[in-house]
Structure formats: C-alpha cells, structure tokens
Amino acid sequence: MDQVADSPAIALSGSVTVCGGARCTSARCQRVLRAFEVELTRRALGRNVRLSPSPCRGFCTAGPIAIVHPPGVLYCRVQPEDVPEIVDQTLIQGKVVQRLCYDEPEAHRSLVSYQDMPLFSKQVRIALRNCGLIDPERIEEYIARDGYAALGKVLGEMSPEDVIREMKASGLRGRGGAGFSAGAKWEFCRRAPGDLKYVVCNADEGDPGAFMDRSILESDPHSVIEGMAIAAYAIGASQGYIYCREEYPLAIDRLEMAIHQARDLGLLGEDICGTGFRFDIEVKEGAGAFVCGEETALIASIEGRRGEPRPRPPYPVVAGLWGLPTNINNVKSYAMTPQIILRGANWFGSIGTQKSPGTAVFALTGKVNNTGLIEVPMGIPLGDIIFDVGGGVPHGKKFKAVQTGGPLGGCLPAAALNTPVDFDSLAEAGAVMGSGGMIVLDDDTCMVEFSRYFLTFAAAESCGKCVPCRVGGQRLLEALTRISEGHGTRKDLQIIKDVSTHMMSSSLCGLGQRTPGPVLAALRFFEDEFITHIDEKLCRAGQCRALVRARCVNTCPANVDTPAYLALVAQGRYAEGLAIHRRRNPFALVCGRACPAFCESKCRRGEIDEPVAIRLVKRFMADHEFEKPWTPEPIGSEAERAAAAEKKIAVVGAGPAGLTAALRLAQRGYQVTVFEKYPVAGGMMAWAIPEYRLPRGPLLAEIENVRRAGADIRCNMALGHDFSLDDLLGRQGYSAVLLAIGAHRSRRLGVAGDDKQGVIDGVEFLSRVAGEATMRAAGLPADAPLPDVRGKRVAVVGGGDVAIDVARSSLRMGAREVHVIYRRAGDDMPAAHLPEEIEAARQEGIRFHTLVNPAEVLGNGAVSGVRLQQQRLAEFDDSARRRPVPLGADSYVLNVEVLIPAIGQVPDVSWLHGTEIARHRGDTFIVDEAYATTRPGVFAAGDAVTGPATIVEAVAQGNLVAAAIDHWLKTGQLVKPHLEAEREDVPQVYDLAAYADHHRPATPRLPVEQRDGNFREVEAGFDEHAAQEEARRCLRCDLEWLDVMKLPRPGIGDR
C-alpha cells in the first residue's frame, strides 16, 4: 500500500499503522488498511496522517491491529466498520475508543501475581526499585521512572542544609553495615573546614556471597550517580569517586556508560542544568583486597598507596582523601537517597522500625530455595526472610543456622528465627547486619568447617600492618584446622578464645577486630559440634574430609560400612557384603525394608542426580542370601570368651536394641538370657510395623540368628509381673541387666472425651494388627482380637511413623474412610523422613487434615466425631518450624466412629516403683556415657533411653551397650564404649564414568489396586541386574578419602 503523497511543507499530524507483516496472510488487515485509506481521504486528512502497514508485532490472534498516533494507542480486532469511529474519535477528537483497546486475556490474569507470592509480597523495593525492570544502558528509562527528579528538586528547591535535614530526619543508617546515620555524616562533612571536599562510593563489596552492590551497579547505575550528586550538593563537593572492585567488569562498564550518558545530558559536569552546581564522578577500580572495603584503606588505595588502614580519629569526614573532608557511603545508601528526597523523610521513616527505618537489601544464598537478591523492611523476622521470601530449605533438609555479615559476621541458630532483622536487634542477638550477605545453612553443613572457611579468607586478607591480626589470624586458623582434621584438643578451644579476645581488642581496623566473629558465634551456639570433633573425632555433618571416610558410613547410627558392601554387591559378592553389614547391623533383611536410610539423605550422589538406593540394594543383598543360615562369629580371644562364659547377663526386651546387645554379648561368650514380655520376640519390629512394610519371614529369620549365637530368648516373661529386677540381680545371679524395654506406652490425647468407647490407643492398635501377623508367622494363635474398624470412619491423630502405619493398616482392614489429623503443616510431619510412606498413604486414599488439632471428642458413650480446631502458623520454635496456634474459634467436626491417637510414646515404667533408677521427665532412663543407669549393674539402651527412634539407632545402641557392659565386667570401670573402626577397602573394578548418566530407578511397588484389603508387601525389591547397576552408581567416596589421607588404594588382586 503506497503512502499517500504529501507536500513537504505540511507537517504530519498523526500516523496510523495497520499490521501487515509479510508473513501475515490475513486478508482482513488489507481490508482495514483500505478502509483507512478511504476514510482519511473522505475526511481530507490524507496529507496530515501517514498511513502505512507495520510489521507484525505479535498479537496475531487479536488482530487486525491498528496503532494510532496521537495519542499512541493500540486497537485490536479492528474491522473495516470500526474505522470511521477511530478516525473521528481518536484522530480528530483525541479520544480513545475503549471497546477496541487490548483487553488482557483471562489466561494472563489467572497467572499468579507477584503480589501473591511471598517471594515478592514481603519485599519493599527502594534501592532495587528499577533493577530488572529497566535497561541500565539507557538513561531515558531511568528518567522515565522519575530518574534525576530528586536531583532536580534538590537543585531547584532545597538548600544544602535542607537536604541534610531531610536525610537526618529520614533516619537512614549506613547500609555498608556500620549503621551510622548518613545524614549526620553528611553534616559533619559539610561543617568540616575547607573548600575542597570529596564524595566517595564504597563499591568494593569484598564479602564472599554478597552481590547486592554489584547488582545495583549493573542494573541501575544512575541511582547511585544521582545519590552521589545529591550528597555532593549537600556537603559542598564537586568531585566524586566510585571505588569498585575490578572483579566486577560488567558493573564498571555500565557505570562508565551511565556516567557518559549523564555527562552528555548535562546531569554531570559543569553547571548542571544551569544551576551553577558542578559535580563529576570518576570510577576507580580496586585490585581485589578485602581490606580496601575499610574506608581508610580504601582512601589509601585511591591515593595510589597500598591498601592499609590507619587509626581513626581523624575520621574521613574531617580528613579523608588527600587529607581533605570526604564522605564515604555504601552503594545502597546512595541508591536509596533519591527516593528519600522525592518521597520525604516521613515516608522512609514509616517503613521499617523506629531505630532502623527503611529497608535492607540481602543477598540470600546457601541452602535456600530462592537464592538471589531481596529487599525487605527492617524489622522483618529472620524466619520470614528465610522461609517465606526465601522459600525455605530445599530437598527436605533441616535448617541449621544462618550466617549474616559475611566473613566478619556471625551465625544465628533456629532459636533466633523470630529475631527482627535490624541493626540493634541483630546486635543484641550477637550477630551482625553487615552489608547484607545472608547464607543459609542446613544440617549438611559442619560449623567447624564453615567457620574455618571464613577464617581462611579473613586471614588471607589481612594486610599485615598490625600484629594481632597478622599473627592472630594464623594461630586461629591453625587451631581450627587441627580440630577439623581430628587432631584438635580442648586446649585448642581455649587458644581460640584467648587469641580472639586479643584480636578483638587490639587490632587496628575492623578486619582484625571482627575476624574471630564467625568462629566465636559458631562456638557460642554449636560448641557441642566442636567438642564432638575433638573428643570423638566425629563430624556429624559429614564435611570434614579427614574425619569422614564416606558420608553414608559417617551418618549411619551404626556406622555400617556401606561403601564396602555396595562395592561388593557391584561385583556380585553378596555373601561377603552381607557379612560386612552384619558386623554392625545384624538386621539387614529388616532394615532393607524398614530403615529410614539416613545414609541416602547424605549420599553425595544425591548432589548430582539422585542418591544411591542404598536400602534397596542392601535388601537385595540380604534377600539373596536368605536361604543361608548365619551363625554369628565369635568376638574376642578364646581366653576372653572362656572367662565370659562364667557370667550371666539378662536383657529385658527383645527389640532391636535388646537383640543386638544380646547378640554381641553372646558373640563375646557370655551366657545371655533375653526376657520378652510378648509371645514372640522382635519389639516394635514384630509388634508395631505392619506386614505390608515388613513381612514376618525375614524378621523371624534374623531373630533366629541371635539364638544361633547362643542367646536364650524367653517369651511371655514380663518385668514386674513374672520376675523382678532384684530377683535377676540377686537370686538368679545375673552379673548385669540391660533394660531395653522400648517406648510402648502411648501419650493420651488429653482432651475431653478421650476415654470414650471407640478411642483406641495407636500403639495398642498396631500391636494387635502387627501382632496378629507375627503370631501367624510363628505358628501361634492370635492372643488379642483385631481392632474393629470394618465399615467405620477412622481418624488417626499424629504425624509420625506410628500414625501412618495405623492409617494404612486401618484401610486394609476395611475402614470406610481414613483420615490423618496433624496439627502442623504437612511438610513438618515427622513421617516425612519416609516420603514414600506419605505418598503411598495418599495414593491409597487416606485424607490428610493439616493445621488442625483435636479439641474435643464427641459422642454419647461411643465416639461419633471429633471437633478439630483450626490452627495457624505463628512464630518459629527451636525446631525451625512455625508453632501452630489456634486460629480464633474456627473449628469443624469430623464425623468418625474410631479415633486413634498416635502422638508419641514413652517407656512403660509401671513396674519401677521403689527401684532406684532415675528417669527424665518423659520417663526415659537417665544413663551415663557407659549406658549405666543410676542403679549399679543395670544398664539401659534403645528407645527406653532415646525415646521413640528408629531400628538402626536401637541397633547402634545395642552394639555400644554390649561393649560397655563387657568392659565393665572385665575391669569394673564404666567408660564410654568405643567400637573399633573396621573398614574394608574394596577395589574399584568398573569404570565409574560409565555410570555418570545412570539414574536411580523408581522403587518397584505393588499397584494401588492390588493393595486393597490385604497386607501384601507393597514394596518389591530390585532384581539382580537392577541392584548391581544401582550399586555401581556409588561414587566411592571411600577411595577418595584414601587419597586425601595419603593411604594406598586397594589393587584388584587385594580383595
């Protein structure tokens, strides 16, 4: 379509473009174009209005599109019939035809808005107001968002004193971290004698993990330029320097570009906007020394000298750059200045807290979901930042601590999550605001190693000028290194404390003064971790390389040599692998089905793709050898065992702790008798875990192994009923008694009506259901009737393993509906450590009610329902979870006929009357390091000591208490037991790289339809091929450890 010819003398007064891209075959566009041509001619506008086709701009489904200038409006779905109206209303009268305007489709509006995402809704963006929204390389876009309007206001309407007054009134405290009043600093500088003054921006940002300043410089450099210009006007300077580390090339580029564009426009340079004010900025690149973030060292660097601090006073505001008054502020302080001027001090003061007004910018990094930059009002609780804005800790890990203030700051633990984040509250809590780095740590972080990391950095950055920092830093580092490598002593802790005190009081500048910050904070909140490293040479987090051969072994409560048996399975050597496993855990068949697999939660392969399916590989290995009976090997020399054979030891309770202890003692030669209350041994394994999780064949087989070692297991013998403690130690002549009675007594619900008919105790419920399976497998008649839930609506209260087991069992027993009631949020359920269980429960149709708590059990004699009180999540508790509190009076009634509380268990100590065995408040036994109770000769282990835990933890205790009892019987001494760290170095026989892209297979499971109404085992194991392939995904961290320790790797011929 040709343009309508026009005479050059007549200026165009408008234009219309109609989409007509070459690709657009829509004939409608052509018709619209023609309609405009006709109408424009008719209205004699042909010469004044340029009509042309435009290239496609998208919107094709909303076409034909016509864009009309003036006023610059886009019309959609334009029909030829609409054209006269457009020409008349818009071109001639200047009005917009609303009905033709682009209407945002529902598909867009239904998308979640930033206002509704905690990531953004809790933010207030002042320093970051333009970041990510404008092109930093175009000054126009900055100006379009009120850029330089503040400078204009300052130059046109305010005196320097007015500016200072406004800044003081706003209460802005230096965002570099020291928190000194910016307005007061500007005032000091203004009042300092002299005509030549400087404005400096500290953009060194040396903290590792901090990138707030870099981001502002890269994304909105003009905000800093404008802020500096305003400061210069206020203090009477005409030259400014931005000290930016040269490791920020993009920031420097964009700064230079911005400065040039500002100069071109006359917003920097001589006679700015004709006001007579002159100001220009030069960028000075730092050379990477952390100490140059300290203002006097920074000044030295600009002057061309080596970056070293000097004593203050005199402060830079009086004598700074070249001895002249200099105002130094951080990037963020300048970036906020224009907004403070435009919107006023009151506005700024209305955000944040009274003593820390405004916002703070944080670089949120580490173990947090939403890593990046955020800006929040001062005073926001720390937990809100990490869990709401930050989205919490990924991969289901637990929050451990958060480091603030970078390498010179300190950490805060879960107990501090409710602390408001502002200068003073953080200081009171013993932490530091700093420039804004915030590093979140989870339980995979070792506090010793973490503080060593920061100390290494700070010590390396010491400029060397003063002795406390130069030498002190080295001494601290040496002590910490010794601790992390397993050579630390208690004296090292004292060294750390002493040297830190000296450094803090005598170092010349903040670098030396605050270098001890991180390690002192770590010691303050996590001292036990340091002590564990020193006394036990144990790094629980699994980070200190010298102490951690492999994270799986390290984290397994029983320290089973996992890399060894995985490597053996990879080679098809199952019997050998199983033998290694049994050295620490005799229940391979059971744990291969029911262990929460702490090993997998720490598996390094999990950082690449998925953790190795250790539990299922173990299961295959144990299943493969099922037919071969195991006679446990003797432990100790013949002479030792002969001496032991003269002693009798009684173990009360045949759960995993008791059975394991009995096994180890029998292996050492003692005469062991196990007294078990129930008709069949096994503890929770037999009397709580349902059959669909643990078939009884494997369980009974592994209990038989304990008998084969020589232990005498006597069932139907209850302590306090069939025999007493005095009897055992006295008349029956046992040298020692181990109480491994577990925690089988349920907590009551504790609400009105919790004794109605139809309320069944959770553990009691399971003992009947699981017990029936156990009795059946042992060939015995059931001794208690199954609970009656067929056709009924069942509600289970609780969120742990017992609750889920009860729920899934009820369903299989024909319950009409099964509900699980939990008072916190779903993610906080303890059973979440077995995510497959909860997932399976949902798949099977169990309904979860979270954030509700039973308030009352309803019914006339028998249960008819339960009133559930709605909860909301309030402040954080020490477990880093938000505490549920009642939400007003909101409640609802769930109609059920059966209510099963499963809210925790305690040991049954009803038989204890009179005996001198001390207990904790929850009835668990108080034991010393040797597992000895307060009664001589009586030891305790397992859930009876720890409270409800897991099978593998009970097994670990069984190993240890057996060693402790053995030592006591031989020497009369009660000492902390120590097991020999046996390890097998199995050679690597295949190419690990070949398994780089192998993924963990899905757990083979019975389809949901096939689980209905039966207790068939839900999980199937791997087949041989799958097990071997999975075992080969192991990264063999144990071989890397040999390299680190400079030990030889095993050759192929070795084992």
Partner 1 sequence: MPQLKNLEELQQLCDEIKQAERVRRETSTVITIGMGTCGIAAGARETLQAIEEELNQRQIDALVVTAGCIGVCVREPLVDIQQAGQSRIVYANVHPAMVPRLIEEHVVKGQPVKEWVVGRMPSDEPALSLCR
Positions in 586-605 near partner 1 (CB under 8 A): none
What tokens appear for 494 in the block?
């004292």
Of residues 109, 628, 1025, 1046, which one binds partner 1 by CB under 8 A? 109
607 binds partner 1 (CB under 8 A): no
Q: How far is the CB of 546 from partner 1 (least distance, A)?
A: 32
Residues 6+ apart with CB under 8 A from 969: 644, 647, 670, 735, 736
Q: How far is the CB of 287 from partner 1 (least distance, A)?
A: 19
Which range touches partner 1 (CB under 8 A), out of 100-108, 580-588, 779-787, 957-965? 100-108
Which of residues 43 and 69 has its CB atom nearest to partner 1 in the complex?
Answer: 69
442 binds partner 1 (CB under 8 A): no
Q: How far is the CB of 1015 from partner 1 (least distance, A)?
A: 39
Backbone angles phi, psi at 918, to 5 degrees: -80, 145
Interacting positions 280-339 with partner 1 (CB under 8 A): 339
Q: How far is the CB of 110 from partner 1 (least distance, A)?
A: 9
Q: How far is the CB of 133 from partner 1 (least distance, A)?
A: 5
Q: How far is the CB of 87 from partner 1 (least distance, A)?
A: 17
Amino acid making up residue 591:
C
What are the distances in angstroms from CA 627 to CA 606, 624, 697, 1022? 33, 8, 11, 18
Which of residues 58 and 733 has its CB atom nearest to partner 1 in the complex?
Answer: 58
Amino acid making up residue 887:
L
Count CA atoms closer than 13 A to 475's CA, side-chain side: 21
Of residues 265, 751, 786, 1006, which one binds partner 1 by CB under 8 A? 265
Angle at 603 between CA 600 and CA 605, to 5 degrees: 120
Which of residues 77 and 883 has its CB atom nearest to partner 1 in the complex?
Answer: 77
Interacting positions 149-188 with partner 1 (CB under 8 A): 149, 152, 155-156
Quote the distance between the C-alpha of residue 695 and its chain's center: 36
Q: How far is the CB of 152 from partner 1 (least distance, A)?
A: 5
Q: How far apart are CA 747 and CA 857, in angstroms?
A: 16
Which of residues 112 and 994 has its CB atom nearest to partner 1 in the complex?
Answer: 112
Which of residues 130 and 462 has its CB atom nearest to partner 1 in the complex?
Answer: 130
Which range touches partner 1 (CB under 8 A), out of 52-60, 87-95, 854-862, 987-995? 52-60
Amino acid making up residue 890:
D
Which range touches partner 1 (CB under 8 A), out of 270-278, 306-314, 676-684, 807-815? 270-278
Of residues 12, 95, 102, 527, which one binds partner 1 by CB under 8 A? 102
Q: How far is the CB of 821 from partner 1 (least distance, A)?
A: 33
Q: How far apart are CA 677 and CA 767, in angstroms?
A: 12
Q: How far is the CB of 64 from partner 1 (least distance, A)?
A: 14
Backbone angles phi, psi at 939, to 5 degrees: -115, 165
Of residues 178, 184, 257, 273, which one binds partner 1 by CB under 8 A? 273
Q: Across the beta sheet with 49-54, what order do the strands follow? A: 49-54, 14-19, 66-69, 73-75
Which of residues 110 and 505 has its CB atom nearest to partner 1 in the complex?
Answer: 110
Q: How far is the CB of 56 from partner 1 (least distance, A)?
A: 5
Which of residues 2 and 104 has its CB atom nearest to partner 1 in the complex?
Answer: 104
Length of the chain, in residues: 1055
264 binds partner 1 (CB under 8 A): yes
Count CA atoms closer than 13 A to 589's CA, side-chain side: 21
Quote the distance between the C-alpha of residue 622 and its chain's center: 35
Q: How far apart are CA 611 and CA 861, in angstroms?
A: 51
36 binds partner 1 (CB under 8 A): no
Residues 6+ apart with CB under 8 A from 640: 668, 669, 970
Of residues 72, 785, 791, 1007, which one binds partner 1 by CB under 8 A? 72
Of residues 58, 194, 396, 464, which one binds partner 1 by CB under 8 A? 58
55 binds partner 1 (CB under 8 A): yes
Q: How far apart are CA 186 and CA 424, in angstroms?
A: 22
Q: How far apart are CA 105 and CA 96, in angstroms?
A: 20
Which of residues 117 and 751 has its CB atom nearest to partner 1 in the complex?
Answer: 117
Interacting positions 112-151 with partner 1 (CB under 8 A): 112-115, 117, 119-120, 123-126, 128-137, 140-141, 143-149
Which of residues 63 and 948 has its CB atom nearest to partner 1 in the complex?
Answer: 63
643 binds partner 1 (CB under 8 A): no
Q: Please tell me the count of residues contacting partner 1 according to CB under 8 A.
A: 84
Which range touches partner 1 (CB under 8 A), out of 66-74, 493-501, 519-527, 760-768? 66-74
Rg (CA), the chain: 37
Q: How far apart are CA 12 and CA 496, in angstroms?
A: 80
Interacting positions 329-348 with partner 1 (CB under 8 A): 339
Only one residue has tokens 């190993």, namely 959
Which range touches partner 1 (CB under 8 A), out of 58-66, 165-173, 687-695, 957-965? 58-66
785 binds partner 1 (CB under 8 A): no
Interacting positions 361-380 with partner 1 (CB under 8 A): 369-375
Residues 6+ apart with CB under 8 A from 310: 296, 300, 508
What are the distances in angstroms from CA 453 to CA 240, 456, 459, 477, 533? 36, 5, 10, 9, 16
Q: How far is the CB of 240 from partner 1 (least distance, A)?
A: 19
Residues 6+ apart with CB under 8 A from 649: 665, 670, 671, 672, 673, 734, 735, 736, 737, 738, 965
Of residues 10, 111, 993, 1052, which one binds partner 1 by CB under 8 A? 111
Name the maximum alpha-carbon separation found in the chain. Answer: 126
Task: Please list, residue by residue across 79-102, b when 16 or more beta carbons sit within 10 angstroms of its beta carbon and e when fewer do.
Answer: ebebbeebbebbbeeeeebeebee
Q: Exposed, middle or buried by CB within 10 Å (0-12, 13-18, 19+), for 826?
A: middle
Beta pairing, strands 852-858 & 865-876: antiparallel
What tokens appear for 1002 in the block?
């899905």
Only one residue has tokens 């203004």, namely 190
959 binds partner 1 (CB under 8 A): no
Beta pairing, strands 745-746 & 905-906: antiparallel
701 binds partner 1 (CB under 8 A): no
Backbone angles phi, psi at 362, to 5 degrees: -125, 145
Q: How far is the CB of 28 from partner 1 (least distance, A)?
A: 16
689 binds partner 1 (CB under 8 A): no
56 binds partner 1 (CB under 8 A): yes
What tokens appear for 869 in the block?
């009180």
Site string for partner 1, 3-22 (x = CB under 8 A): ------------------xx
H/E run at residue 837: helix 835-843
Q: How far is the CB of 665 from partner 1 (least distance, A)?
A: 53
Of residues 172, 199, 267, 570, which one binds partner 1 by CB under 8 A? 267
Interacting positions 191-250 with partner 1 (CB under 8 A): 211, 214-215, 218-220, 248, 250
Of residues 26, 52, 54, 735, which one binds partner 1 by CB under 8 A? 54
Q: How far is the CB of 401 from partner 1 (least distance, A)?
A: 21
Query: Could you tell me the sign of the dihedral formed by the alpha carbons of 516, 518, 521, 526, in that order?
Result: negative
Q: How far is the CB of 335 from partner 1 (least distance, A)?
A: 12
Beta pairing, strands 198-203 & 73-75: unpaired
Only one residue has tokens 């029909």, namely 79
Q: How far is the CB of 130 from partner 1 (least distance, A)?
A: 6
832 binds partner 1 (CB under 8 A): no
538 binds partner 1 (CB under 8 A): no
